[in-house]
Structure 1
Amino acid sequence: MKSKIEIFEEYTQQPGVKISLIVSALSSIILIVALIGKKFLLNELDSIGALSLIIEFIYGTVLTYLILRNKEKYLHLVPFLILNWFIGCFCTNTVIPIFENLSIWVYILTLAFCLSNFFIYRNIQEKYFSEIFYFINGLSFTLIIYFAAYLIPITHYSFIGMIALGLGFYGLVPSIVLVLHSYMILGFFQENKKYFLSFIAGFSIVLISLAGFALKLNAESTTITQNTITKSFDNDNDLPNYIKVSQNLEPNFFNEILLKKEIVYIGADNFFRFDGFNSFGSKQFNEKKIHNPFINIAYFFCKDINLDYDDRINILKSNFDKRLETEEQLWSGDDLFTKNIKEDIKVYPNSRLAYTEITIDVACNKESWQDKEAIYSFQLPEGAVATSLSLWVNGMERKGVLTTKEKAANTYKQIVGVEIRDPSLMQWREGNKVVVRVFPINIKLPRTFKCGFTTPLKVEDNQMKYQSLSIKGPNIANAETLSRIQIVGNTKIETSKHFELNNNYFINQSKGLDRWEATMPLNKNKIQDSFVWKNNVYEVKDIQKTIISFDPSEVILDLNSNWTTREIESLLNLPKKKFYVIIDKEKQIINKENFESVQSQFKNLHYSLLPFYKINKNALIITKSGTFSANFEELEGSDYLKKIKTRTKQQNLKVINISAEINPFWQTIKEQKYVDFYQTSLKNTLQLIENKQFVLFKTEINSVNIEPANISIHQNSKNIPSKSTGSNHIYRMYAFGKVLEEQVKIQNDSLAQNQYVALAKDANIVTPISSLIVLETDADYKNNGIEKNVDTLGNASINNDGAVPEPYEWLLIIIGLTSLFFYYQKNKKQIS
């Protein structure tokens, strides 16, 4: 029996095989280079695909002529012809993108089809191998059918292009191969029925998988469509229709695919009409566009969900946490990756605060003519605030300068979009997120930036808990991560991931960015930490809870899919209490007799948006929040949000959340104090209702409550000289709380807004009205009308958290240094 090498050598001796191997190898290399050039935006490689087209045109024309002239002699070269035709098709696609950004599996499956043809057309008689090759051929033949069907709309253009340039021929290749291969393989089936069974097995697997996928996708599409139609008859016209869809949409793999149609995945409304991406909107979505034949075919069998481009993006933001992908991006962020992350945490147990400094090295792994822009999103715990930003420019750390959010955004756009130079920008986002932008980055210029966040320690069950920050950004999963914790004082600490004690620091090295926690025993002694700043003392004290008498005018159960039957029953079992739910803006009573039927109407409602302005004054709302929802940003411009802002505060509503979670909508409602909000267990809630009580946190004009840490920060005049016993983060937290408290008041008051921008700048905090920006030179700040930090706290630092000296202290320091200088000079003269 001949060895495989001997068989191959014998095969290469046949007419035209060697030259065909050379042409195929050369064309394949050119195609790979062209695809790399397209993927990584390398303009110098754009034209290399044309070289392959010239080679393919000459080779294909000559080989076709030879086969037609002498079929018996050259028929064995047909697989080479098919292979090179498809190489030509893909090279043409790099020049004229008929199929935009094909998935990698499409190239692999097409190659599998072409390679299996070599064995099938030679009619190898080896039993098992032959059946495997027919199975692969049947599997991959489905893709050829897809290509042929997809290109039907441009057939007439292909004929015109073939006459004019010859390129149009490649638009006909799938159809030609479909006919030619069908004719050839039918002949082989007549010789051996097992070949037919293997081929059909491969073909059927694809069809069955596609049918199952399409059925599931269609079921989800039908659900969304029915929900859209049903909700359109609601009397509630205050909310956009897509919000009602979002409320009833449970995030899953299939919903995401449906929502990404024409945004990420190619999917023409009419499969046999070539129009590519024809949906445009005002919102940007920073995710690579993909042509996936499997998904595109499934789209063809699905009902359209009847949501426009912007509506679907808003749902992706609220239900799938895709808010980072919708951030405006001035330059591409492709090919960026996070190289290193350093977490440096300093914990102040006495103040129940912590400072986290995150240093990130971001780099580009591919050569590109275009500089890249990196965007990172930091999800902060409730009550946390961003307090520093630095960018390394020419090897030197440049610290951020705080200014108004409008001025910072306009300056960044000018320098990045027009001047194309070095800046970094840190902005606040609703839901207590912070977005950081860095530009420029390329393969020769990796960047390092650092940002700091002051966070409260969450108090639970006589323990204080530090929670690591959640970060989204370019390819974080493979970053080398170094974490360090230092504790002020002798407090014991336990962490959910392993830290080793080294030189009084707890150190951990890992890969990626895992979520972790650190817990410490709660200091039961009276808190006495304070910070002195500009003739004021900012003192940390235990938060003062007040239990007030509260007999609500009505009790509203804010039901959604998070509620359990037991929880509803527990409330309804309270004697002599009436409870209501709101359905279609109308109040309906809920009791032990009807609660099951009422609850069933909320089983698909994953978050609610109550019409607070229609609820009676002094009412009590009991909610159970999930993790996702729309926020004020998605509701912007709606009548609902306008009424919330103008008609809610005066209602004096009380809210109890029986969940440990809080979604973005409720967090904003709580932070901006539209209602009195209290988060506790169901057991405590039952007691409060039964006793006609409610828990309020005592507030004063010159104080701010930090509820997660159970502390309050008070501002007092400094009557006598005093020293800081705590860190400057105390004042930063106070300032942040004050800005958020006034957020509702300052919406239409530019004078008040300027007042609170000054407060934010003094504390150097990023808020809804202020941002941090780093520019390349001092002249850039001056040219853009941005004043550098003068007489402010400036950027927070892990190594410098004390008070800035008072004026008289500066005088003493100067006198002391001057005395030391003269003393040193005097001694120097005596020695000489």
Structure 2
Amino acid sequence: MKSKIKFFKEYTQQPGVKISLVLSILSSFILIIALIGKNFLLRQLDSFGALSLIIEFIYGTVLTFLILRKKDKYLHLVPFLILNWFIGCFCTNTIIPIFENLSVWVYLITFAFCLSNFFIYRDVKEKYISKISYFINGLSFTLILYFAVYLIPIIHYSFIGMLALGLGFYGLVPAIVLVLHSYIILGFFQKNKKHFLSFIAGFSILLISLAGFAFKLNAESNKISQNTITQSFENNDDLPNYIKVSQNLKPNFFNEILLKKDVVYIGSENFFLFEGFNSFGSKEFNEKKLHNPFINIAYFFCKDINLNYDDRINILKSNFDKRLETEEQLWSGEDLFTKNIKEDIKIYPNSRLAYTELTIDIACDKESWQDKEAIYSFQLPEGSVATSLSLWVNGIERKGVLTTKEKAANAYKQIVGVENRDPSLMQWKEGNKVVVRIFPINIKMPRTFKCGFTTPLKVEDNLMKYQSLSIKGPSIASAETLSRIQIVGNTKIETSKDFELNNNYFINKSKGLDRWEATIPLNKNRIQDSFVWKNKVYEVKDIQKTTIPFKPSEVILDLNSNWTTQEIKSLLHLSQKKFYVIIDKKKQIINKENFESIQLQFKNLHYSLLPLYKLNKNTLIVTKSGTFSANFEELEDSNYLKKIKSRTKQQYLKVINMSAEINPFWQTIKEQKYVHFYQTSFKNTLQLIEKNQFVLFQSEKKSINIEPANISIKENPKKPSSKSTGSNHIYRMYAFGKVLEEQIKIQNDTLAQNQYTTLAKDANIVTPISSLIVLETDADYKNNGIEKNIDTLGNATINNDGSVPEPHEWLLIIIGLTTLFFYYQRSKKQTN
């Protein structure tokens, strides 16, 4: 250790080392500040890059002159010269973004190259230090080579730019360093061939890694290209071109990189053309754009997947759950993080319902001239509905007001985009998703919002299961999370996360918001919970299932990659049954003789989009759903969806799903009653087909079924004996079920739309036709034509879930309070 300190002291005593060391540290510090300013949009730090360039220009010019004039005396300063040249390059990049946003590892590898030069040019004799230095130098030298080649198209601009404070010189630095370093290091190789072996080992490892990565990326590219319409003789005018790619694409690391070309990652179509991002579309993708040299080189050796910008984004949405990233964002959400989460759950075992209230603190960790907009996406269990929204404005909680989705969206855009003031918006999205937006947020003004969701308890065997909500939003992983469970009634509970019993509540403290679940024994007594509202009573009953005789006109096996060979065999062994599959929109028989060859055609199909409108009436479809697919929103402009909406219901199709999962496409088909849909096990599927039976859930005009909880909710006239024995969430679930059930009618009937918007307002629920919005002042609601909700359930809360008193009940309450007041006043006078 002493010898190394001595070596360092001796080195610093050489001419120019101390001043070079000080200037290098100062320039590095300035570069870091400039990068922070660029990454975090701190405009007041923009000038730091220019300051460093002035220092680098003076230092570089003087040092170059000294080295050329007195080579023997100042040659040891060449590593400092190279280091400061690259610092100048990166500072120039903050002003003129030649490389857009470089990955962090690029700066680290470049610094490693410069650092290794100090040991190599000094010709350090220590064996291990020498080997490591040459190895690192060889590894990092490939990056210098990349810089030099990438900048070839702007060499002529660099020469012109040298007239402006030498800025253009930095476009030539990689090429100059490449030539200079190659000349110097070749001299060292001639003296010691072992140095060459260490250098070439580092260089080769990087090239081999790059070749392997490019090979794998190209293999994935070929798979994708094989499934594009232009690479086949299929003719399907009903579906968008990208759908076939999406259906046959199993998400992985490599095909995500391919899809993000020109969306997230810089990828020039021609490596020698300086173009940067050169694909544009109507859709936006809210993810930071990056220049990653490793990926860019691999793109150059990789076949293009021949998908346009919008198609790539649609596949990222459906296959990679990137729908939040494609939400329209009026302001940047960079630098935001979720600071605290309070997760409050109230479970109603008798109603098989639960209410989850999430209070979330959002903060910004960097100063910025620009206010930030936070967007959160909540993935809800099947059948769930959003029932409350609050935003704290000037320290006061302001509750959301429910209105039509169009009015809410227009008001939010007006206030955020034009007036730049406080709103929050909660919107319904397909696939059991809800999106919440909050604005503005900055380093001096963190925000707090609260949202609530009513969810059914999923019934499995003799248990009821509560499933936590999945959240995507600004940096949730490090949030401080406080979770609490309270149960109405005396019921045992088991959780997959450790909760401690404290004052009759189950409490847990953790980081982030991991998925967890709680199980409760199923109450086998008959359900009789009810809720009274506006001369109606809403009663919770056990769902009524009926097994009916059903001999289908034909049975279609909706094959995909989720099916096993044994499942297909078992079905085909059913006696006197004929089965068909749909291949290229044509029906084809499948039997014991040909099923293996047919199954091969579906091995890479991860979800299907059957032409339901072309199937015979009373057809039975047997499917096994996965978790992802395109949804109605992404198919909105397609002929396929138009035909689904106009020609499917009259076919009276029945569907059995053998999977515990359901993808967004089938979820919407089920919710909007295009088919009769039944989800069960494979064993039950075999029995139903063998016996020519189907299971229907009985439903009446004024009732809705909540299948996950095995309950139905029915509306009846109120009787004198009617009482609210359950929570107001019963009515909210009824209203949500009715809106979803009538959605097709709503889309085509203005009168129906008004009727069900009124129902949604009454129950204060977020639906396909209604949204919750919080505005800063009452005047904001008036200016945007939004009426505050009167005589409705209002926002759900964790502590107030009972009924709103009827008029005669209000009278009794007033009389009671008045009596108490006079009694208090009389007692006070007697005391005095």
Q: 1:232, CA displacement in angstroms?
A: 4.4
1:411 maps to amino acid: A
1:669 maps to amino acid: I
The answer to whether structure 1 residue 766 and structure 2 residue 795 are counterparts is: no
Which residue is 1:688 aligned to? 688
Distance 1:351 1:680 in 2: 23
Q: 1:392, CA displacement in angstroms?
A: 1.0
Which residue is 2:698 aligned to? 698
Which residue is 1:527 aligned to? 527
1:256 maps to amino acid: E
The answer to whether structure 1 residue 268 and structure 2 residue 268 are counterparts is: yes
Distance 2:370 2:519 in 1: 46
Which residue is 2:5 aligned to? 5
Which residue is 1:318 aligned to? 318
Which residue is 2:87 aligned to? 87
1:117 maps to amino acid: N
Q: 1:636, CA displacement in angstroms?
A: 1.1
Which residue is 2:746 aligned to? 746
Distance 1:766 1:571 in 2: 42
Which residue is 1:362 aligned to? 362
Contact 1:231 1:241 in 2 (8 A): no
Q: 1:422, CA displacement in angstroms?
A: 1.0
The answer to whether structure 1 residue 757 and structure 2 residue 757 are counterparts is: yes
After TM superposition, the structure 1 stretch with the greater mean CA deviation from structure 2, 239-248 or 718-727, is 718-727
Which residue is 2:654 aligned to? 654
Which residue is 1:709 aligned to? 709
Which residue is 1:390 aligned to? 390
Contact 1:231 1:244 in 2 (8 A): no
Which residue is 1:451 aligned to? 451
Which residue is 1:401 aligned to? 401
Which residue is 2:515 aligned to? 515
Contact 2:229 2:241 in 1 (8 A): no
Contact 1:188 1:195 in 2 (8 A): yes
Which residue is 2:474 aligned to? 474
Distance 1:657 1:362 in 2: 40
Contact 1:30 1:49 in 2 (8 A): yes
Which residue is 1:294 aligned to? 294
Which residue is 1:333 aligned to? 333
Which residue is 2:797 aligned to? 797
The 5-angstrom pairing of residues 220-299 of structure 1 reads 220-229=220-229, 232-299=232-299
After TM superposition, the structure 1 stretch with the greater mean CA deviation from structure 2, 747-756 or 760-769, is 747-756
Q: 1:373, CA displacement in angstroms?
A: 1.0
After TM superposition, the structure 1 stretch with the greater mean CA deviation from structure 2, 230-239 or 29-38, is 230-239
Which residue is 2:463 aligned to? 463
- How big is each residue's C-alpha offset from its partner over 1:523-571, in whole Å with a ceiling of 9 and x where there is no partner? 1111110000000000000101111111100000000000000000110
Contact 2:361 2:449 in 1 (8 A): yes
Q: 1:2, CA displacement in angstroms?
A: 7.6
The 5-angstrom pairing of residues 409-420 of structure 1 reads 409-420=409-420
Distance 1:672 1:539 in 2: 23
Q: 1:421, CA displacement in angstroms?
A: 1.1
The answer to whether structure 1 residue 595 and structure 2 residue 595 are counterparts is: yes
1:823 maps to amino acid: Y
Structure 2: gaps spanning 5 or more residues: none
Distance 1:391 1:447 in 2: 8
Which residue is 1:630 aligned to? 630
Q: 1:277, CA displacement in angstroms?
A: 1.2
1:603 maps to amino acid: K
Distance 1:826 1:70 in 2: 106
Q: 1:254, CA displacement in angstroms?
A: 0.1
* Aligned-partner SS, 1:338: strand
- How big is each residue's C-alpha offset from its partner over 1:216-237, in whole Å with a ceiling of 9 and x where there is no partner? 0000001111221576421322
After TM superposition, the structure 1 stretch with the greater mean CA deviation from structure 2, 473-482 or 696-705, is 473-482
Q: 1:769, CA displacement in angstroms?
A: 0.5
Contact 2:477 2:511 in 1 (8 A): yes
Q: 1:824, CA displacement in angstroms?
A: 3.3
Distance 2:165 2:8 in 1: 37
Task: Give the TM-score of the pair, scaled to structure 1.
Answer: 0.99
The answer to whether structure 1 residue 121 and structure 2 residue 121 are counterparts is: yes
Distance 1:22 1:389 in 2: 55
Q: 1:24, CA displacement in angstroms?
A: 1.1
The 5-angstrom pairing of residues 116-195 of structure 1 reads 116-195=116-195
Q: 1:829, CA displacement in angstroms?
A: 4.1
Q: 1:87, CA displacement in angstroms?
A: 0.6
Contact 1:235 1:585 in 2 (8 A): no
* Aligned-partner SS, 2:633: helix
After TM superposition, the structure 1 stretch with the greater mean CA deviation from structure 2, 157-166 or 255-264, is 157-166
After TM superposition, the structure 1 stretch with the greater mean CA deviation from structure 2, 491-500 or 249-258, is 491-500
After TM superposition, the structure 1 stretch with the greater mean CA deviation from structure 2, 508-517 or 800-809, is 508-517
- How big is each residue's C-alpha offset from its partner over 1:482-541, in whole Å with a ceiling of 9 and x where there is no partner? 111111111111111111111111111111111111111111111110000000000000
Q: 1:282, CA displacement in angstroms?
A: 0.9
* Aligned-partner SS, 1:3: helix
* Aligned-partner SS, 1:438: strand
* Aligned-partner SS, 1:744: helix
Contact 2:626 2:659 in 1 (8 A): yes
Contact 1:286 1:326 in 2 (8 A): yes
Q: 1:827, CA displacement in angstroms?
A: 4.2
The CA RMSD measured in Å over matched residues stands at 1.2
Q: 1:5, CA displacement in angstroms?
A: 2.1
Which residue is 2:733 aligned to? 733
Q: 1:129, CA displacement in angstroms?
A: 1.2
Distance 1:829 1:490 in 2: 45
Contact 1:120 1:130 in 2 (8 A): yes
Contact 2:229 2:244 in 1 (8 A): no
Distance 1:115 1:826 in 2: 88
* Aligned-partner SS, 2:123: coil
After TM superposition, the structure 1 stretch with the greater mean CA deviation from structure 2, 389-398 or 158-167, is 158-167
Which residue is 2:97 aligned to? 97
Distance 1:184 1:229 in 2: 54
Contact 1:335 1:364 in 2 (8 A): yes
The answer to whether structure 1 residue 561 and structure 2 residue 561 are counterparts is: yes
Task: Give the TM-score of the pair, scaled to structure 2.
Answer: 0.99
2:603 maps to amino acid: K
Which residue is 1:820 aligned to? 820
- How big is each residue's C-alpha offset from its partner over 1:638-679, in whole Å with a ceiling of 9 and x where there is no partner? 000000010000100000000010001100000011000000
* Aligned-partner SS, 1:254: helix
Which residue is 1:197 aligned to? 197
Contact 1:581 1:589 in 2 (8 A): yes
Which residue is 1:581 aligned to? 581
Which residue is 2:17 aligned to? 17
1:237 maps to amino acid: D
1:316 maps to amino acid: L
Distance 2:297 2:246 in 1: 25
Which residue is 1:777 aligned to? 777
Distance 1:234 1:76 in 2: 67
Distance 2:38 2:759 in 1: 49
* Aligned-partner SS, 1:163: coil
The answer to whether structure 1 residue 606 and structure 2 residue 606 are counterparts is: yes
Contact 1:232 1:241 in 2 (8 A): no
The 5-angstrom pairing of residues 544-559 of structure 1 reads 544-559=544-559
Distance 2:657 2:376 in 1: 31
1:278 maps to amino acid: N
Distance 2:24 2:722 in 1: 83
After TM superposition, the structure 1 stretch with the greater mean CA deviation from structure 2, 231-240 or 621-630, is 231-240
* Aligned-partner SS, 1:21: helix
Aligned residues: 832
Distance 1:301 1:374 in 2: 38
- How big is each residue's C-alpha offset from its partner over 1:96-143, in whole Å with a ceiling of 9 and x where there is no partner? 000111111111110111111111111122222111111111011000
1:591 maps to amino acid: N
After TM superposition, the structure 1 stretch with the greater mean CA deviation from structure 2, 292-301 or 277-286, is 277-286
* Aligned-partner SS, 2:204: helix
Distance 1:236 1:130 in 2: 63
Which residue is 1:56 aligned to? 56
Q: 1:819, CA displacement in angstroms?
A: 2.9
Distance 2:159 2:725 in 1: 83
* Aligned-partner SS, 2:342: strand
Distance 1:444 1:2 in 2: 49
Q: 1:66, CA displacement in angstroms?
A: 1.4
After TM superposition, the structure 1 stretch with the greater mean CA deviation from structure 2, 465-474 or 716-725, is 716-725
Distance 2:229 2:486 in 1: 57
Which residue is 1:429 aligned to? 429
Which residue is 1:36 aligned to? 36
2:368 maps to amino acid: S
After TM superposition, the structure 1 stretch with the greater mean CA deviation from structure 2, 144-153 or 337-346, is 337-346
